[in-house]
Amino acid sequence: MAGELQTGGRRRWLVTAWPGMGGVAISAVVYLLSKLRMRQVREFDARDLFELDEAEVEDGLVRAARLPRSRLFLAEDAAPGLDLIAFLGEAQPPSGKLALCTRLLDAARELGAQRLVCFAAWAEGLEPSAAAHVRGVATDEAGLRELQGRGVAPVRRGRISGLNGVLLAAAAESGLPGLGLLGEMPALAPHLPYPSASAAVLRAFCGLSGMTLDLAELEAYGERMREQLSSAYQVALKSLQGAGPEPPEEPSAPITAAGGLDEEDARRVEELFAQAAGDRSKAFALKTELDRLGVFRQYEDRFLSLFRPEG
């Protein structure tokens, strides 16, 4: 790892994601992992910051406890003169958020990080058919001017809850320049994936970093989800106007409750895992299918293991 710590005058940025509304940040970072063929370079222990509140049972046997993991990945030459570190945390701790953020910043600095960019969601009263835009925040005036110069509207007033806000505040205190890119999404279904906002975040990030990234796969996924949400939204409006049946409790997206898969779905998942193991650029297709089936959290550890260093 010693060679990885030497940036040689190059830029080296850290991007971060935790689970949150619409899966906006997670989808954006997973897309980077896949398309840049990133590899895991570090994992730091944060077990002491999490608590267990349940046990999983399978066929009558209680499974060994597994606490959320915190991983760092690296892509060298993600753009001319730019190396990219990506952090993906499996969960936000109920307490100890500042301690986790401090550990993350320490680990990132050891890997040579010179700038932080947090990915997150911004819930609005948007219709699902509306185009997704990005709002931004910065830890210093120079960063704010840079955002505005790239057409990213700043958040004028408000609060960023959870680890994204804490991490940006910790970065500001420590002197590490930081930006937050918040993808706008409808507030009506925060538990469903909204990849259009993820694509908007990555477009803004590419503009800031100079990185070239083909977003076609992510945009197509976003369009499918927008159509499904828009259809459910129209049904709900008609029902409220007394012109149609009661709306479903959630959009009629092809998403099932997490749990066991039938044989056909399980076979498809295994095929996609095999393809992604041979070519990490295909990993996002696997992520999309796991989202569709509602089982990404079940497979998350195995999925992220695809990005371990070879050998």
For the chain, domain boundaries? 2-218
d(Cα 200, Cα 61) in Å, to the nearest integer?
Answer: 44
DSSP type of residue 9: T
- Between helix 216-240 and helix 283-293 the angle, nearest 10°, is 20
Q: Quick one: pLDDT band at residue 310, thresholds 50, 70, 90? A: low
d(Cα 223, Cα 219) in Å, to the nearest integer?
Answer: 6
Q: What is the pLDDT of residues 60-90, one digit of tens each?
A: 989 877 888 999 999 999 999 999 999 999 9
Contact 172, 178 (CB under 8 A): yes
Total residues belonging to the chain: 311
**Across 109-127, average pLDDT:** 92
More confident residue, 149 or 56: 149
| The pLDDT of residue 48 is above 60 | yes
More confident residue, 187 or 98: 98
Q: What is the pLDDT of residues 217-239, one digit of tens each?
A: 999 999 998 888 877 666 655 66
Match 């076979």 to its residue by tokens: 267
**Across 97-107, average pLDDT:** 95
Q: What is the pLDDT of residues 152-167, one digit of tens each?
A: 999 988 888 889 999 9
- By percentage, how much of the chain surpasses pLDDT 70? 87
- Look up the CATH number of domain 2-218: 3.40.50.10900
Model pTM? 0.85
- What's the confidence (pLDDT) of residue 226? 85
Contact 169, 107 (CB under 8 A): no
Q: Quick one: pLDDT band at residue 9, thresholds 50, 70, 90? A: low
